[in-house]
A and B are shown apart, each in its own frame.
Chain A
């Protein structure tokens, strides 16, 4: 292991690191919002939209991100819609992540116990009030584990952006390998870089899960 190689490539890895974080951040927020909206549509069984959401969820969960990206970046321009590589990446993450988030939130909302709902009804809450004071707060708390898993999953998926030559972490490493052949050093740094992001994040999310679970299961 040649440590000077490691040292010299640090600046490039740093850039890739921040890009990975930035793309992940926007992608996850977008996916979260999309997922939340979809789960509400499914929970309230909104007539037409519900079928659309179902179709969307199935379509995006059963196809790989890679193909989604290729389709967005190579396929769409041919019918007139053109996005930059980074935008394709974020759209891909939002499209894929949205359905995972939707499933996570739906699971949480469905997990609110029947007795909680009946207690709310018994004090005269309307359906809207029930949703606002009972179902959503508790449902969102119950979704935290799934949300955490999805966050980690989506950050890892950004590694696939390398196929569109987006200079995130994986691409940086592969590029350097292509140029200088120091495979060991660059792959080592790549793994360390992902560990730096994912291990603390994983610990933070586990702590959040525990905190929330204690609150919900107070009954």
Chain B
């Protein structure tokens, strides 16, 4: 019959191993968000400059990352990159690169959207006082658009965290991978291990993402109220 399913967590180092896997997922997510976020802001600003070629190139970059499913992106980078450029990175690094680029692409759209919604007369007033382009961005555009970017950015962060679940497919030893190993190792002792382990991981993701979702929602609501003030 097997032992009571939930006890699978108390076997050996199972629980710790799961948390270790979670750490890997969280680390990749965190690094991607930071690198991708910074790159995204830069790209977003660049996309609002009046250079059609630059805007087209960056737009193509964004659309590529939007059309291609993330799973496919991971495989593209994992398999093709080593061959074409003779670089051999660990799966973790490939994952971080892919997610950073994806984060940057989406972020650039958020930043661009926020920047172009700053009322035109604000920009014109700035120009009228003689501000240079850099100063315009620094003192007028960015400060006034930041609050618009925040809820969308937080939602994006939540999406990145959720999508790290795909890393196991390029053999990153993340939380789901560890979960699978545990289930297999204990399959004859714990018949319903899968139910409990996957259920637990489900809840882990929820615990990670839910606070962020709520924060984003609260900021969005406050933003709307403030903007209409």
- Chain A residues proximal to chain B, CB less than 8 Å: 58-59, 61-64, 66-68, 70-71, 74-76, 78-79, 152, 156-157, 159-160, 162-163, 170, 173-174, 177, 183-184, 187, 190-191, 194-195, 198-199, 202
B140 proximal to A (CB < 8 A): no
Alpha-carbon separation in the docked complex, A35 to B158 (Å): 21
Assuming the A-B contacts A67-B198, A194-B72, are A61 and B80 also in contact, with contact meaning beta carbons closer than 8 angstroms in the complex? no
Alpha-carbon separation in the docked complex, A61 to B185 (Å): 31
Alpha-carbon separation in the docked complex, A173 to B80 (Å): 14
A and B contact pairs by CB, cutoff 8 A, 25 listed: A58-B206, A58-B210, A59-B206, A61-B209, A62-B162, A63-B202, A63-B206, A66-B165, A66-B166, A67-B165, A67-B198, A70-B194, A71-B199, A74-B195, A74-B198, A78-B191, A78-B194, A157-B69, A159-B71, A170-B72, A184-B83, A191-B72, A194-B69, A199-B67, A202-B67
Contact partner of A58 (CB less than 8 A), chosen from B67, B201, B208, B213, is B213
Cβ–Cβ contact B198 & A75, under 8 A: yes
Cβ–Cβ contact A159 & B158, under 8 A: no
Contact partner of A71 (CB less than 8 A), chosen from B72, B166, B202, is B202
Cβ–Cβ contact A67 & B209, under 8 A: no
A102 to chain B, nearest CB (A): 14
Which residues of B have CB within 8 Å of A198?
67
Total interface residues in chain B, CB < 8 Å: 38
Which positions 49-87 of chain B face chain A at CB distance < 8 Å? 66-72, 75-76, 79-80, 83
Cβ–Cβ contact A74 & B67, under 8 A: no
Cβ–Cβ contact B67 & A195, under 8 A: yes
Cβ–Cβ contact A183 & B209, under 8 A: no
The chain A residue sitting closest to B64, CB to CB, is A191
Which residues of B have CB within 8 Å of A76?
195
B192 proximal to A (CB < 8 A): yes
- Chain B residues proximal to chain A, CB less than 8 Å: 5, 66-72, 75-76, 79-80, 83, 158, 162-163, 165-166, 169, 176, 183, 191-199, 201-202, 205-206, 208-210, 213
Residue among A70, A157, A173, A195 with the most chain B CB within 10 A? A70
Cβ–Cβ contact B192 & A79, under 8 A: yes
Cβ–Cβ contact A160 & B210, under 8 A: no
User: A78-B193, A78-B194, A160-B69 given. 5 additional CB < 8 A pairs?
Assistant: A62-B208, A75-B195, A79-B195, A163-B169, A199-B67
Alpha-carbon separation in the docked complex, A79 to B191 (Å): 9
Contact partner of B199 (CB less than 8 A), chosen from A75, A156, A183, is A75
Cβ–Cβ contact B198 & A70, under 8 A: yes
Alpha-carbon separation in the docked complex, A173 to B76 (Å): 11
Which residues of B have CB within 8 Å of A66?
165-166, 176
Alpha-carbon separation in the docked complex, A8 to B158 (Å): 40
Alpha-carbon separation in the docked complex, A62 to B75 (Å): 24
Cβ–Cβ contact B69 & A170, under 8 A: yes
Alpha-carbon separation in the docked complex, A180 to B210 (Å): 42
Alpha-carbon separation in the docked complex, A212 to B19 (Å): 48
B143 to chain A, nearest CB (A): 27
The chain B residue sitting closest to A78, CB to CB, is B192
Cβ–Cβ contact A156 & B75, under 8 A: no
Contact partner of B205 (CB less than 8 A), chosen from A64, A162, A170, A174, is A64
Which residues of B have CB within 8 Å of A199?
67
B187 to chain A, nearest CB (A): 10
Cβ–Cβ contact B166 & A160, under 8 A: yes
The chain B residue sitting closest to A184, CB to CB, is B80
Assuming the A-B contacts A66-B166, A67-B202, are A170 and B71 also in contact, with contact meaning beta carbons closer than 8 angstroms in the complex? yes
Alpha-carbon separation in the docked complex, A187 to B83 (Å): 13
Cβ–Cβ contact B194 & A68, under 8 A: no
Contact partner of B206 (CB less than 8 A), chosen from A62, A183, A195, is A62
Cβ–Cβ contact A194 & B206, under 8 A: no
Cβ–Cβ contact B166 & A194, under 8 A: no
Contact partner of B67 (CB less than 8 A), chosen from A157, A163, A184, A194, is A194
Assuming the A-B contacts A66-B176, A67-B176, A68-B202, are A190 and B72 also in contact, with contact meaning beta carbons closer than 8 angstroms in the complex? yes
Contact partner of B162 (CB less than 8 A), chosen from A63, A190, A195, is A63
Which residues of A have CB within 8 Å of B158?
62
